[in-house]
Structure 1
Amino acid sequence: MSASVNILNKVDRFLAGSMKTIIIAVIVMATFTMFLQVISRYVFQVAISGLDELAGHTAVWLYLMGAAYGTYERTHIKADMMHLFVKSPRVLQVIRAAAAAVSVVISCYMTTWAFGYIKWSILKHEVTPTLRLPTVIFQLPILIGAFLMVVYFLREFIDILRRGPQVSPVSEQEG
């Protein structure tokens, strides 16, 4: 294995570990804030300002890191039913490559949009209504998640092209 491939594998493992850590931390944080909100409101009849805001904004981190991790694991949601209608492995490969290419383009657009959104937010000094936190904290996962999706969709696209036509395991079982 070449040194550059070894470095890329280490970066890949680091990014995957970072995404897992962020996802777990955000789940714990969201669960704690919701639990605290329920206890304070229904047990002590006291509303704690900002907990709903924090839970909602925290969910953005969960959604986008989850989407990026799903793309990394290739467990993202896709409607891959073409193997039921198309029996040619070559045509299936072209369709899968086209779908991956479209995913790369959409993720690139999303990354570009997120970058502009964050830049605008920084220039406007945008803050959340209750806690007065900089909104860039909760907009950053859009950029990070979209960029990671570009990387992993691009990797999927390249892998599809490298693999060559293959028969789907599902279509092999049907035949």
Structure 2
Amino acid sequence: MATEELDVPASPDAQEGRITPARAIKDEQGAASSFGRALTFVEERLAAGLRWIMFLSLLGLSLTMVAQVVMRYLLEWPFLGIEEMAPLLALWCYFGGMVYSTRHRTHIEGGILTLITSNPRIIGVARALGTAIALVVLCVFFYYAYAIVQFNFDIGRKSAYLRWPRYLWDLSFLVGMAGMALYLLIQLWFELRHVKLVWGGR
């Protein structure tokens, strides 16, 4: 059949020419360098940790909501501490998901540039520049997030009902932003290598 003879890309990343951190690191595993093997090993452990964080926090959030309904409407004994636990679990789930989506590059992107030009040099430079700008902006956000965490830690701020340290909530966005910055840095590294390649470098 004619469709069987077509060279269909294996994934949208291959079709659109985008570099995905997870795929680039996996491809680097085949390299003979010890750096490639070490990077792959560390990244796989990090990805496994992210999956566990998202799974446990989402499971805990679901069970917390069920417990709240049972205690409030069946036992008529509402526990206000659940109102503090829910945002805690949700934050860890959200920011873990943000890191994981950055790893797979599944966040929303415009992709308008590919409609204007098909020049791989221009597209490669534009994507590397966009990643660099995103990384810089994320570092600025991380700085202010760290300032908030440090402030709450210094004053010993605690939650109203459970009396848990406030940094348990705050650490979620610090860890999330640090993980996103790591994957954006990896993405930028591979994009710069790609730009060098398409511009005739070695």
TM-score range, shorter chain: 0.7 to 0.9
Deviation at 1:4, TM superposition (A): 2.6
State how far apart, in whole Å, the 2-side matches of 1:78 and 1:135 are.
34
State how far apart, in whole Å, the 1-side matches of 2:41 and 2:122 are.
34
Which residue of the partner structure matches residue 11 of structure 2?
none
User: Within the alignment, does 1:93 sit opposite 2:129 as a pair?
Assistant: no
Structure (1 or 2) with the larger CA radius of gyration: 2
Identity of aligned pairs, percent?
28
State how far apart, in whole Å, the 2-side matches of 1:107 and 1:97 are.
15
Letter of the 2:40 counterpart:
N
Counterpart pick for 1:62 among 93, 112, 118: 93
Deviation at 1:101, TM superposition (A): 0.6
DSSP-derived class of the 2:137 partner: helix
Structure 1, unpaired ranges of 5+: 167-175
- State the Cα deviation string for residues 38-61 of structure 1 (Å, max 9, x = none): 121122222112112110122111
DSSP-derived class of the 1:131 partner: coil
State how far apart, in whole Å, the 1-side matches of 2:168 and 2:175 are.
11
| Equivalent residue pairs, number | 166
Q: Let me know the Cα RMSD of the aligned residues.
A: 1.6
TM-score, normalised by the number of residues in structure 1? 0.88
User: Within the alignment, does 1:17 sit opposite 2:64 as a pair?
Assistant: no
TM-score, normalised by the number of residues in structure 2? 0.77
- State the Cα deviation string for residues 50-98 of structure 1 (Å, max 9, x = none): 1121101221111111101111111123222321223322221122111
Structure 2, unpaired ranges of 5+: 1-31
Counterparts of residues 158-173 of structure 1 (less than 5 Å): 158-164=189-195
Counterpart pick for 2:188 among 133, 154, 157: 157
- State the Cα deviation string for residues 87-116 of structure 1 (Å, max 9, x = none): 322221122111101111012112222222
DSSP-derived class of the 1:49 partner: coil
